[in-house]
Amino acid sequence: MSGFKNFLLRGNLIDLAVAVIIGTAFGAVVTTFTNWLTALLPESTKQYFTNEPNTFGAFLNAVISFVILAAVVYFFIVTPYTKAKERYFPSPAPGTPEDIELLRQIRDLLAGGAATPPGTSSPADR
């Protein structure tokens, strides 16, 4: 069960799901905006476009639906997911990571002229 929990919380599964939901909803906004915009074109050019209902109300409805859907996704999916992720996988403590600190020590040793770490023999000592 812990492997499944790691899969859900560490992977980008939630991020991808949110992207699909928001992308689909935004697609409806773009479609209704395009329909409304083509309704404003002169009659002579409308023959090249579909005859779907073209009203500003449909566009406004799609925008409001998108905003409501985005709020629901944020408050019921993204916020709990972020809290659960911080609970099970806390952010690392601020400071220098251990590997960076070791690299700095090596750099300082090399810059100081000591080509070998303390406690080991150099080739000249053999």
Distance CA 104, CA 96 (A): 10
- Enter the DSSP assignment of 40: T
- For residues 9 and 89, the answer to whether their CB atoms sit within 8 Å is yes
Q: What is the mean pLDDT of the chain?
A: 79
* pTM exceeds 0.75: no
In the numeric block, the tokens 């949110």 are attached to 18
> Span 55-76, mean pLDDT?
87
Q: How far is CA 84 from CA 17, 45, 89, in A?
A: 17, 54, 8
In the chain, % of residues over pLDDT 90: 22
> Span 68-91, mean pLDDT?
87
